[in-house]
Each structure stands twice: as structure tokens, then as C-alpha cells.
Structure 1
Amino acid sequence: MTTISAAELAPRIDLAVTAVEGVRECYSARPVVARAVEHLTDVEGSLADVDDAAGTRAVTVCIGVSSEDDAAVVAAAVATAARGAGEDDIPSSVRVRVARLIAPRS
């Protein structure tokens, strides 16, 4: 099986995360320095942070969830979607940060 690079995988994870029911917004989970460099060079980067090192992969995503949804259930579904975005057998850990609870419009 072929290995998917972090640069190829991050956009796939972004798409998988946004497709999860209950995700209202996605935010960049990547380090501030990486986002600043992209801003200065006018490069559009992915929101997911994917780090491949020593034969393992660490994925971090950051989401906003409606205050009416169970954030833990949505986060678990997001983690499952992020793991499924890769088509290789590299062991991965997935961290889902719920950065915002979004109140419904009144």
C-alpha cells in the first residue's frame, strides 16, 4: 500500500471533518508560525495539522459545535472520520479540539 504524505492527507481530513454531522465550523489546528508564513506568501493551507514522524502520524483538528449537540459525540465522529481519510496503514493518533460552542440563533 502506498504512503500518503502529510501535505496530501491534510485536505482529505478537512473534507472528512466538514462532512461530519454536528460540525458547524472548522478552524486551523496548525501552529501559528505556519499560518503566518502562509499568510505572508499568499498560500492557502489546510486546517488540519498532520505530523508524520518516526513511522507514526499525529493529526489535530479544531472544530466548532452547536451548543445543542453533544460535543463529545461529535468529536468522536470527527476522530473516526479523520482516521478514515488516510488510505494507508500508518499508525495514527487523532486529537480533536472543540474550540467553540456555537449558540443557536434565537
Structure 2
Amino acid sequence: MTGIPAAEVAPRIDLAVTAVDGVRECYSARPVVARAYERVADVEGSLAAVEQSDGARAITVCIGVSAVDDAAVVASAAATAARGAGGDDVPATVRVRVARLVAPAS
């Protein structure tokens, strides 16, 4: 089973998760070392962490949800969006971390 490479899928996942109703912010879910390297090398990377091995993907996204929204419902919708963003038939395990509850603007 061949699919779209992880480096191409990650930006698609970023866009799909950002478009989910209730997602207020997206944060990097990638390892600190990878983010530090990109900062030093002045390279822009995606926010989603995508690992691909043995014909399957492991996707992690990190989101901020409004304090007035149901975080579980938003996280479930974000997982569905992330899983569907690949556009191929590679099985994916998706982890959504709700990193922050964002206070509504006053």
C-alpha cells in the first residue's frame, strides 16, 4: 500500500483541522527537536506530527478550543478531518490533544 508521503500530508492536515468549527487555534504537535531545527534553519514546517511506517500513519494534532465549546465534540471533528485529509487509503491512527481552552473575546 503506497500513500502520499508524510511531508505532503501534514500541511493538508493543518488546513483541514484549522477549518473545523470550534478549533480556535492550532499548535505544533511535533517534537521539540524538529521545531528547534526548523527555527535555526529558518524552515517553515507543519503543525501536525505525521509518522508513517508499515503501511500505516500515526497523526497527532494539538488544538485550542473555546471554553464555551464542547472540547470532546470539537476534538472528534478534528480527528475526522485529520484522518480524511490524506486523500488516500492509508490507515491512520489520530491523536488530538486539546492543549488550551481559549477564553472568548470580551
- Range into which the TM-score falls when normalised by the shorter chain: over 0.9
Q: Partner residue of 1:27? A: 27
- Post-superposition Cα deviations, 1:34-58, rounded to whole Å, max 9, x if no partner, equal 0000000000000000000111100
Unaligned runs of 5+ in 1: none
Deviation at 1:105, TM superposition (A): 2.5
Deviating more after overlay: 1-10 vs 90-99:
1-10
Q: Structure 2: how far apart are the matches of 1:67 and 1:44? A: 30
Deviating more after overlay: 64-73 vs 87-96:
87-96
Q: Structure 1: how far apart are the matches of 2:3 and 2:56? A: 12
TM-score (norm 2): 0.96
Unaligned runs of 5+ in 2: none
Identity of aligned residues (%): 76
Instruction: Tell me the number of residue pairs that the alignment of Structure 1 and Structure 2 aligns.
Output: 106
What secondary structure, in the 3-state scheme, does the structure 1 residue paired with 2:3 have?
coil
Q: Partner residue of 1:40? A: 40
Q: Partner residue of 1:50? A: 50
Q: Structure 2: how far apart are the matches of 1:22 and 1:85? A: 18
What secondary structure, in the 3-state scheme, does the structure 2 residue paired with 1:21 have?
coil
Deviation at 1:2, TM superposition (A): 5.8
Poorly superposed stretches of 4+, deviation over 2 Å:
none
TM-score (norm 1): 0.96
Instruction: State the superposition RMSD in angstroms.
Output: 1.1
- Post-superposition Cα deviations, 1:41-81, rounded to whole Å, max 9, x if no partner, equal 00000000000011110000000000000000000000000
